[in-house]
Structure 1
Amino acid sequence: MDGMGANSRLTVAAHALTWIGLYQRRGHEVATSEQIATSVNTNPVVIRRLLAQLRKAGLADSRRGAGAGWTLSRDLSAITLLDVYEAVEPGPVFALHPAPPDRECIVGRGIAPVLGAAYDGVETALRAELARTTLGDVLRDVLRDA
C-alpha cells in the first residue's frame, strides 16, 4: 500500500473512521480525505484507497458533488476493530509456504499442518481481541487521555 506496511493498515483505517466519527459528532456532515490525511499525517490518496475498502465493507460512505466527502455508515459504537481489520486486511495473518516444501524431507513433509494449527490459534485469539473493542471505545479513551 505505497509506503505503508501491511501492519499499519488497520491502524490508519481505525484512525480515519474514528476521526470522521468525532468530526460528525461535532456537527459536520462530511469529512474530506485531505482533512483525514492531515490528522493521520499521510497522503490523501492513501486515505482514499483505504476508505474505498471501508466503503465496500459497509463502514464508510462517500458523497460526490458539492459538499463531497466521507461519512460513517454506522455509529462508532457499532464498528469493532475486527470489522475494520476484516475490511482492510484480507487473508490470514500468517501464510504457509508459497510453494509446497520438499515431501521427501521430514520437516518439509510435516511442518505445514503443525504451523497451520499454531497459526489458527493466533488468528482465533487476534479476532477475539479485536472484536472486544469498538471505535466508540477508541474515541472515548482518546478523549479521556487527551
Structure 2
Amino acid sequence: MQISTRFSIAVHTLLCIAYFSPETKVTSAFVAASVNANPVVIRRAFGQLKDGGLIKVEKGVGGASLARPAQEVTLLDVFRATESVEGDLFGFHAHPNEDCPVGRNVHVVLDEELAAAQAALEDRLAQTTLADLLDRLADCRAREDAEAPSGA
C-alpha cells in the first residue's frame, strides 16, 4: 500500500507558502516550479488545503497564505485534508468465506492490528507541525550555506 502523492505535495506546498510569503506572492505556478509539477496539480492541492482550513487563497494571482500559524498545523491536519480516507485506513476484502476457518476469523485476528497501525500513523503525524519542518528546512539551508565555497 502506498499513500498517494497528494500528501507530500500538500506538505511541500505548505512549506513553500510558509517559507516564501509574505515577501513573495505564492501562486500555484510558483509552487509548481518548486514541486516540479503541473500548476493544475497544485491548484487541486490549494483547494484541498483551503477546504481543510489550512490556507487562504486570494482570487486571481493573489497567492496563498497560511490560515493559521505554522505551529498549529500538524501533518495529521494535512493528511486529513488531502487523503480521502474516511474511517479505516486499511480496506478489508468483502465477504471472507465463513465456511473456512481462516475466512471466518480473519477479522478477529487482523482488525486490532490494522487499527493499531492506523493509530500509530495518526499519532506520529500529530506530533509534527509545519513549524517543526520549517525549522528543519532552516537547518538544511544553514548547512548548505556553510558548505558553499567562499566567493561563489
Please tell me whether Structure 1 or Structure 2 has the larger radius of gyration of its CA atoms.
2
Structure 1 position 86, deviation (Å): 0.8
Q: Identity across aligned pairs (percent)?
A: 38
**What SS does the aligned partner of 1:100 have?**
coil
Structure 1 position 69, deviation (Å): 2.1
CA distance in 2, matches of 1:60, 1:46: 16
Taking structure 1 as the reference length, what is the TM-score of the superposition? 0.87
2:81 to 80, 87, 96: 87
Residue of structure 1 equivalent to 2:32:
37
Superposed CA RMSD in Å reads 1.5
1:57-72 equivalence runs, <5 A = 57-65=52-60, 67-72=61-66
**What SS does the aligned partner of 1:74 have?**
coil
Gapped runs of 5+ residues in structure 2? 142-152
Structure 1 position 10, deviation (Å): 1.5
Q: Deviations over 1:27-52 (max 9, x none)?
A: 23x41101001111111111111211
Q: Deviations over 1:38-78 (max 9, x none)?
A: 1111111111112111111100111114x422221112111
**What is the aligned residue count?**
138
Structure 1 position 22 matched with structure 2 position 19: yes
Taking structure 2 as the reference length, what is the TM-score of the superposition? 0.83
CA distance in 2, matches of 1:13, 1:47: 8
Superposed structure 1 runs of 4+ greater than 6 Å apart:
none
**What SS does the aligned partner of 1:71 have?**
strand
